Amino acid sequence: MPTFFEKRQLVTPGDLLAEGDYIAGENTYKEGGKIYAARTGLVEYEEKKVSVVALRAFYIPKVGDTVIGTVVEVGFNGWTVDINSPYMAILRATEVLSRPFKPQKNDLTEVLDVGDLVVAKIVAYDRTHDPQLSVNEPGLGKITRGQIVKITPTKIPRVIGKKGSMISLIKQETGCHIILGHNGVILITGKSLEDEELAMRAIRKIDEESHTTGLTDRISQLIKKEKEKKGGSQE
Amino acid sequence: MSQKPEKLIDKKGLRLDGRKPDELRPIKIEVGALSNADGSAYIEQGKNKILAAVYGPKEVHPKHMALPDRMVLRCRYHMAPFSVQERKSPAPSRREIELSKVIREAVEPAIFMEYYPRTAIDVFVEVLQADGSTRCASITAASLALADAGIPMRDLVSACSAGKVDDTIVLDLMDTEDKVGSADVPVAFMPNLGVITLLQMDGILTPEEFEKTVNLAIEGCRKIYALQKEALRAKYISVKEVEE
C-alpha cells in the first residue's frame, strides 16, 4: 500500500496519491484501487484517509453552515441571496418575520432590500434544490455595521486555526468581534476603524500564505508590530 | 504570403524550422494570466499564442439550458482578426464553431460533470497568433485554466498533433506542414488515465502509418503534460519562495 507523495506536498489534478487500501477524502477520487487528486492543493495522509486541501475552490453549501450573503432580489414571499457560491440561496419571509406574513400587506423591502448583507444559516440543501437560509438564531440577521473581507472558502479552517487558536488570537489582540462565514466571507466589527483594519490585514495575510507553516506566530508578530507603531505615533 | 516550399524536410532530415521529426516546438505556459477570470492560462507553442479563460461554475443563463443532473460546459474558440496573415473576420466561422465543439468534447471527460448540477462553466479560448495545431494548444490551455479555476478534474488534458510530411511521420505540425503535408492527426490525451479524448485525421495514411502517428502524438502529449504540471505548480511555488 504505497503512497506517492509526502505530507503537505503540492499536487495537481490527476496525480496518483496512493494505491491499495485507502479511503478517498476531499478533492480526491478512487478508480481501480488507486487514489488520484482532483484539484490543485496540498496532500494530506491521515491513517487510511487521503485528502487534498485545495488551494483554489468555490463554496458548495452544506446544511448547518453559517454564511454571509448579499440580497440580490426581493420576491413576493422572500429574498434571493448571493452567498458567493454557484447556487443562489433563498431566504423566506416567514423565516424573518415572526408574525404571520401576508404578501399583500407587508412590504419586504422595509425589512431587507437589495444590497443588504445578512448573516444566515443554511437549513436545507441538496443537489436538486437551491439552498435555504434561516435567521432564527441569536447572532443571525441583517448586518448594520462592520467590515467585510472575502477570502478563498477553503481557507476558512486555516483562519480558525488548531482548536480556534488563530481566530481567538486575532479577536483578543484587536478586540474585534469576528463572524466567519463558511462561504469565505468574514465580518469584522470593532470599536474603531483601526482595529478593524488591523484584523482585516491579518486575515488577508492568512489567505495569501495559507500553505506555509508557522503562520500563527507570524500573524501575532504582525499585530504586535502594528500596535507598537500606532502606540508610538500617538504619544 | 510565402509560396509553397518544395521540400518540407531537408537532406539531413531536419524540418523547415530546423526541428527533428519527433521534436516539439518550444513551449511556454503561464497559469493565472488573467485576474478577472476564475481561472486562466496562456500558452506559446512555437509561433502560436493562445489565451484561455474559465468562468464558473455559476448559475445557468438562460435558465432553460440548465441540466438537472450535471453541469453545462460551454466553450468558445475564437481567432483574433490579427492572428493570421490575411485579416480573419471576427464573426464566428464554420471552422471556429466546429473547433469550439471539439475542444468542449475533449476537456469534458476530464471534469466531474455530475458534481454540481444546474450550474454552467464557460471556457473562452482566444487565439492571438496562429501557426498550426491551434486546436491542440487550445485544449492544453483550456484544461489548465479549468484546473486553475478549482474545478474538480480526473486529470489534465494534454493535446498534440502528428502527421505525415514528405513521407516522414513528424510531431507537432506547424502551419506550412499542415497545409502542404499529406496528413494531420490531432490527439488529446489524459496521460495518467491513458484515455484519448480527441482523435481526428485530415489526409490519407495507411493503417500502419496511422498507428505510428498516433503513438508519436501520444508521446508528444506526455511531454506537454510534464510542462503543464510544472506551470500549475509554479503559480504557488513562487508565492512560497517570496515568503521564506
Whether residue B92 is predicted with pLDDT greater than 90 in this model: the reply is yes
Give me the DSSP letters along B37-101. Answer: SSEEEEEEETTEEEEEEEEEEEE-SSGGG--SSS-EEEEEEEE-TTSSSSPPPSSPPHHHHHHHH
C-alpha cell belonging to residue A19: 494505491
Contact A60, A160 (CB under 8 A): no
Instruction: Using a pLDDT cut of 90, give the percent of chain A over it.
Output: 52
Whether residue B100 is predicted with pLDDT greater than 90 in this model: the reply is yes
* Residue A4 in contact with partner chain B when CB distance is under 8 A: no
What are the pLDDT tens digits along chain A (235 aa)? 688 888 888 999 999 999 988 999 999 999 988 999 999 999 999 888 999 999 888 999 999 999 999 999 998 888 999 999 999 999 998 888 777 777 677 788 888 999 999 999 999 999 899 999 999 888 899 999 899 999 989 889 889 988 888 999 999 888 899 999 999 999 999 988 888 999 999 999 888 887 777 788 888 888 888 888 876 554 4
Q: Where are the alpha helices (DSSP H) in chain B?
A: 94-107, 134-148, 175-180, 207-243
Query: Does A209 contact B239 at a Cβ distance shorter than 8 Å?
Result: yes
- Work out the number of other CB atoms within 10 angstroms of the CB of residue A104: 5
C-alpha cell belonging to residue B190: 489524459
Give me the DSSP letters along A152-207. Answer: -GGGHHHHH-GGGHHHHHHHHHH--EEEE-TTSEEEEE-SSHHHHHHHHHHHHHHH
Q: List the 77-106 stretch of B: residues with Cβ below 8 A of A.
A: none
- The whole-angstrom separation of Cα A41 and Cα B81 is 38
What's residue A119's pLDDT?
A: 95
Q: What is the pLDDT of residues A116-128, one digit of tens each?
A: 999 999 999 998 9
Dihedrals phi, psi of A54, to nearest 5 degrees? -70, 140
Q: List the 146-165 stretch of B: residues with Cβ below 8 A of A.
A: 147-156
Q: Which residues of B194-223 are buried (b: 16+ CB within 10 A; e: fewer)?
A: eeebbeeeeeebeeebbeebbebbbbbbeb
- The whole-angstrom separation of Cα A116 and Cα A122 is 18
Please give the interface size between A and B, counted as residue pairs whose CB atoms are below 8 Å apart.
83
User: Helix axis angle, A165-174 relative to A215-234, nearest 10°?
Assistant: 0
Query: Does A14 contact B244 at a Cβ distance shorter than 8 Å?
Result: no
- Chain A residues whose beta carbon lies within 8 Å of the beta carbon of residue B152: 13, 27, 29, 38-39
Q: Mapping DSSP to helix (H, G, I), strand (E, B) and coil, where does residue A92 land?
A: strand
Q: What is the pLDDT of residues B158-207, one digit of tens each?
A: 999 999 999 999 999 999 999 999 999 999 999 999 999 999 999 999 99
What's residue A3's pLDDT?
A: 83
What's residue A95's pLDDT?
A: 82
- Chain A residues whose beta carbon lies within 8 Å of the beta carbon of residue B148: 40, 56
Contact B164, B209 (CB under 8 A): yes
Residue A186 to residues A60, A178, A189, A228, Cα–Cα distance (Å): 16, 7, 10, 26
What's residue A46's pLDDT?
A: 87
Whether residue B90 is predicted with pLDDT greater than 90 in this model: the reply is yes
- Strand B195-199 relative to strand B183-190, pairing: antiparallel
- Tell me whether 0.90 is exceeded by the ipTM: no
**CB nearest B233 (choices: A10, A16, A212):** A10
Q: What is the pLDDT of residues B113-156, one digit of tens each?
A: 999 999 999 999 999 999 999 999 999 999 999 999 999 999 99
What's residue A99's pLDDT?
A: 72
A231: enclosing H helix or E strand = helix A215-234
What's residue A51's pLDDT?
A: 92
- The whole-angstrom separation of Cα A76 and Cα A93 is 9
- CA dihedral sign, ordered B40, B160, A37, B244: negative
Strands of the sheet containing A28-31, edge to edge, are A16-19, A34-37, A28-31
Instruction: For residue B219, name the pLDDT band (cuts at 50, 70, 90).
Output: very high
Q: What is the pLDDT of residues B1-45, one digit of tens each?
A: 456 777 888 888 899 999 999 999 999 999 999 999 999 999 999
Closest by CA to B50, choosing from B136, B110, B122, B160, is B136
Whether residue B244 is predicted with pLDDT greater than 60 in this model: the reply is no
Is this model's pTM higher than 0.80 or not?
Answer: yes
Contact A38, A100 (CB under 8 A): no
Mean pLDDT of B53-82: 95
